Amino acid sequence: MKVHAMIAAAMVGAALAASPVRADPAIPVAVANFDFSDTSGEPVDQSETHERRLRHLSDFLRQQLATSGKLKLINLPCEKAQCTATDPGFEALASQAKQVGARFIVIGIVEKTSTLIGWVKYSVLNVEDQRAVCGELITYRGDTDESWRRAAKFSAGQIVSRCPLGG
pLDDT(111) > 80: yes
Antiparallel, parallel or unpaired: β 117-126 and 104-112: antiparallel
Antiparallel, parallel or unpaired: β 35-38 and 117-126: unpaired
Query: Which helix (H) or strand (E) is 162 found in, with range?
Result: helix 145-162
Contact 38, 50 (CB under 8 A): yes
Helices (H), 21-144: 47-67, 90-99
pTM (2 d.p.): 0.83
The pLDDT assigned to 10 comes to 40
pLDDT(167) > 70: no
Q: Which amino acid is at 65?
A: L
Length of the chain: 167
Q: Which amino acid is at 36?
A: F
Instruction: Using alpha carbons, list the distances in angstroms from residue 111 to 77, 119, 139.
Output: 25, 5, 9
- The per-residue pLDDT for range 15-70, each reduced to its tens digit, is 444 444 446 689 999 999 999 999 999 999 999 999 999 999 999 999 999 999 99
What number is the average pLDDT over the span 68-93? Answer: 89
